[in-house]
Amino acid sequence: MSAVISRVMLCCTSQQVSVPRQRWSHTPCAGSEVWCASAAPTRTGCLPVPAPQTDSGEEGAASVSTGSLWQLRGQEPGPLLRGGCGKREGPRPVPGAAEAEASGSRCELILPGSCSSLALWCLMMSVTPTRGCLLDLPWEDILVPHILCHLPLQQLLSLQRVSKSFQSLIQLYLANMRCFDSSQIGPAIPRAAFVNLLKDNEVLQQLALQNCSDWLTDQELLPVIGQNHHLHQIQLKGCAQLSRHALVAISLSCPNLRQLSLAHCEWVDSLSLRSLADHCKALEAVDLTACRQLKDEAICYLVQKCGRLKSLSLAVNANVGDVAVEETAKCCPELEHLDLTGCLRVKNDSIRVLAEYCPKLRSLKVKHCHNVAESSLSILRSRGVELDVEPPLQRALVLLQDVVGFAPFINLQI
């Protein structure tokens, strides 16, 4: 008999994959009835699942939810599953089930939704003495791309303790992981653990290591950057122990980089930023907040080479002035977001140039820019650009309310 392909839907992934349709077999367990699945004609992809069966013994589609038995599709949930087995009740039809069955049989596999009980559930499924287990599902085709990728990294690391097989599965996932976010593990990651997690990965696309200044240095970061040439998003906010060599390595290894955050990385200098501009011309978002070594010349070189920029932050840098802002406006017509907070040298002239050359500008931050007045901001305000400073009249009302304790009635539309 040739295997009939049915569809499996995983509740934690919202994606559909195909596995061989399974036939139900009966296994008694401590006075209760447990129905296990075995694939026909081989065991490839089979998964043991407790399930009730129709009175006629026919095959059918089944579904399971957290804490419930497997059941035939079109029936209400069965009794609670305790220790891998439970008593079976008779089928109870659900309205609309017949119409659903008419469209063809489908096997719906719904995994437990609680990540906190995932390790225990996996352990139970892996040691159940049936014809197959969870790990019999194809690792690279189903488990890694459709299940594990939706679980928190900390939970995945906990799964390694279940068994050696799960350890091998998680290592396979880590080697094929597309996104790594250190915040999913915790603020303090042992250096050796970080190196071990990504030592075999060469397909990373997103790397988020913000606020890892306590442990992240060039020694840990450079090997990861050097072997991942497909990175398009990197966040190094607050990584104060790195050096300019890290930025040079990023520029040489990541030609397709689109988003880069170097906020509060005071080690960024003009030479390393020039290297970034020369090799990463597809950049769309750059955060240089509090990179105080940078001056107008370095910013001008960056925007001349990276004309696709849509978001740029030059905040908290007293060295940035009108020259850098005007060159940004002329070289980046696609600019949508610009942060100039605390740039004391920026004046009205550059804001007017920005309004003239950047028609797609959506937000501008000029708080604490004491030389920027409403005369230049009113042009952008009339276009609906979001500004972080209030109009003078509104600002006066707020101050008056703080001093007097109430705001007098004033017609603001006059």
Considering the domain architecture, whether residues 107 and 234 belong to the same structural domain is answered as no
**Which residues, including other chains, have CB under 8 Å from residue 337's CB and lie 6 or more apart?**
310, 311, 312, 361, 362, 363, 364
Residue 65 has pLDDT above 50, yes or no: no
Residues 122 and 11 in one domain: yes
Sheet of 311-313: strand order equals 179-181, 206-208, 233-235, 259-261, 285-287, 311-313, 337-339, 363-365, 386-387
The pLDDT of residue 351 is above 50: yes
Alpha helices in 160-290 (DSSP H): 164-175, 191-198, 218-227, 244-253, 270-279
Domain containing 119 equals 5-90+103-128
**Domain count for the chain:** 2
Identify the residue with better confidence: 199 or 46.
199
Percent of the chain with pLDDT over 90: 48
Q: How does residue 77 score in pLDDT terms, banded at 50, 70 and 90?
A: very low
Q: What is the pLDDT of residue 6?
A: 31
Would you say residue 413 lies in a domain? no
**To the nearest whole number, what is the mean pLDDT of the chain?**
73
Q: What is the mean pLDDT of residues 82-99?
A: 38
Residue 88 has what pLDDT? 36
Which range among 53-62, 194-203, 391-400 has the greatest average pLDDT? 194-203
* Distance of alpha carbon 33 from alpha carbon 12, whole angstroms: 27
pLDDT (mean) for 27-33: 36
| Residue 19's pLDDT band (cuts 50, 70, 90) | very low
Q: Enumerate the β-bridge partners of residue 75.
A: 93
Q: What is the pLDDT of residues 324-336, one digit of tens each?
A: 999 999 999 999 9
Task: Give me the pLDDT at residue 140, please.
Answer: 86
40 pLDDT higher than 80: no
Residue type at 360 in one-letter notation: K
| Number of other CB atoms surrounding residue 210 within 10 Å | 17
Give the per-residue pLDDT at 178: 93
pLDDT for position 134: 76
Residue 237 located in a structural domain = yes
Question: Cβ distance 19 to 45 under 8 Å?
Answer: yes
Q: By the 8 A CB rule, do 342 and 313 touch?
A: no
Say how far apart CA 93 and CA 75 lie, in whole Å. Answer: 5
- Residue 190 in any domain: the answer is no
Tell me, what's the pLDDT at 401? Answer: 64
Angle between helices 191-198 and 218-227 (to 10 degrees): 10
Share of the chain above pLDDT 70, in %: 62
pLDDT of residue 261: 98
What digits encode the pLDDT tens for the residues 225-265? 999 999 999 999 999 999 999 999 999 999 999 999 999 99
- 110 and 242, same domain (yes or no): no
What is the rounded distance in angstroms from the CA atom of residue 273 to the CA atom of residue 296? 12
The reported pLDDT for the residue numbered 380 is 95
User: Quick one: average pLDDT of 170-174?
Assistant: 92
Confidence at residue 5, expressed as pLDDT on a 0 to 100 scale: 28
Close Cβ partners of 173 (under 8 Å, ≥ 6 residues apart): 143, 144, 148, 149, 156
Are 243 and 373 found together in one domain? yes
Its sign, for the CA torsion 141, 147, 153, 155, is negative
Amino acid at 148: L
Residue 238 domain-assigned (yes or no): yes
pTM summary value: 0.66
Listed residue (322, 357, 365) closest to 340, CA to CA: 365
Q: Which of 128, 143, 178 corresponds to the end of one domain?
A: 128
Is the previous residue joined to 359 through a cis bond, with omega within 30 degrees of 0? no
Q: Is the pLDDT of residue 306 over 50?
A: yes
Query: Does 176 fall in a domain?
Result: no
Q: What is the mean pLDDT of residues 18-36?
A: 36
Backbone angle region of 186, left / alpha / beta, with phi > 0 → left and psi within -120 to 50 → alpha:
left
One domain for residues 233 and 381: yes
Residue 341 C-beta-side C-alpha neighbours within 13 Å: 17
Q: Per the domain annotation, does 107 fall within a domain?
A: yes
> Strand, helix or coil at 374?
helix
Together in a domain, 205 and 117: no
Q: For residue 42, give Cα distances in angstroms to 137, 358, 361.
A: 13, 63, 60
Q: Say yes or no: 115 and 17 in one domain.
A: yes
- 47 is a domain residue: yes
Position with higher pLDDT, 119 vs 55: 119
Asked if residue 318 belongs to a domain, the reply is yes
Angle at 336 between CA 334 and CA 339, to 5 degrees: 125
Instruction: Report pLDDT for 58.
Output: 41
pLDDT above 60: residue 406: no
Shared-domain flag, residues 323 and 240: yes
Same domain, 258 and 391: yes
At 268, is the secondary structure helix, strand, or coil?
Answer: coil
Q: Is there a single domain that holds both residue 113 and residue 249?
A: no
Q: What is the pLDDT of residues 125-142, one digit of tens each?
A: 554 444 557 788 888 888
Higher pLDDT, 84 or 367: 367
In terms of domains, do 275 and 386 share one? yes
Q: What is the pLDDT of residue 198?
A: 93
The residue that leads in pLDDT, 9 or 318, is 318
> In this structure, are 81 and 206 located in the same domain?
no
Q: Band the pLDDT of 160: cuts 50, 70, 90.
A: confident
| pLDDT score of 135 | 82
Residue-level pLDDT at 185: 81
Cα–Cα separations (whole angstroms), residue 75 to 10, 49, 358, 392: 18, 16, 60, 66
Quick check: helix, strand or coil at residue 323? helix
CATH code, 295: 3.80.10.10
Residue 291 has pLDDT above 90, yes or no: yes
Mean predicted confidence (pLDDT) in 48-74: 36
